[in-house]
Amino acid sequence: MEEEEIIEKDLDYYRRECERLERELIEERRYMYIDEKIVSWLALNIDTDKSSVKPSSDEIRDMLHNQVAVLYLLIWPIMEQRYFSGFLKVNQISDAARKLAPFYCEDLKNDLDEIIKKFFDRYRNNRQHYRDLCVDKMMRKEFDEIISRNKFVYLQPIDKIKLLLFVIYRYRNNIFHGNKDIKKWASFDEQIKDCLIGMMKLMDCMKKHKIVIAKRR
């Protein structure tokens, strides 16, 4: 009798487990169906360079698995909302650099110097990378003046922060506005990750020192 009860309990447990797994499978399929609809729509509607073929559903799926651009879309609005009154304008970059510069050596140098030097070398030494960045006319003169320095060590903290914010701003525009072929995002993984770290460290510094670049009216 005891053995039968044990068997019955085991069977009951396995039945419940099968039901649970079936529910999870149904739920997973439902989300897979939604994802497929989204992927198909994106494949049809994403704008790419005029010379490029629209991405396939498989390419869209690969891009969604690559999360760095998605993280950019999450982190950038936090910086804009908290410290730039909801919208960062290119002419605010110099003001931001001026307010952050006094805290660079203490709070930012260890985390950001290497990243900023990579951007300095990348856009100073490679004209194709420079063209890919699509520097705005409003910022080009100042950007060019910074990267024209002979060595990174000659840059002052204000120059370093300007350079970083210029690059972050341009990657933001290239991602949001489709200036960069979406299929090439994966090839900019390292640069996008560096921009993410840059934004987070700058925000940590602004929070610590109660810096706001532009207040809401």
Sort 150 into a burial class: Cβ within 10 Å, 0-12 / 13-18 / 19+: exposed
Average per-residue pLDDT for the chain: 81
Question: Residue 112 is inside which H or E element, if any?
Answer: helix 109-125
Q: What are the backbone angles phi and psi of residue 214, rounded to the nearest 5°?
A: -145, 130
- pLDDT at residue 47 in the model: 55
**Which amino acid does the sequence have at 107?**
D
Interval 50-80: pLDDT, tens = 545 666 777 666 666 667 777 887 899 999 9
Phi-psi region of 54 (alpha: psi -120 to 50; beta: other; left: phi over 0): beta
For residue 183, what are its two tokens? 């299929």
Number of Cβ within 10 Å of residue 40's Cβ equals: 12
> Helix, strand, or coil here: 84?
strand
Strand partners, 84: 214
Question: Contact at 8 Å (CB) between 78 and 207?
Answer: no
Q: How far apart are CA 76 and CA 31, in angstroms?
A: 27
Question: pLDDT > 90: what percent of the chain?
Answer: 37
- Of residues 13 and 196, more confidently modeled: 196
Residue 213, SS3 per DSSP: coil
Q: Output Rg (C-alpha) for the chain, integer angstroms.
A: 24
Residues in the chain: 217
Give the pLDDT score at 197: 94
Provide the whole-model pTM: 0.73
- Asked if residue 161 lies in contact with residue 30, where contact means CB atoms within 8 angstroms, the answer is no
Closest CA relative to residue 165, chosen from 216, 92, 93:
93
Is 93 within 8 Å of 162 (Cβ atoms)? yes
Query: Of 111-115, 122-126, 137-141, 188-192, where does mean pLDDT reach its minimum?
Result: 137-141
User: pLDDT tens across 132-162, in order?
Assistant: 887 777 788 899 899 998 899 999 999 999 9
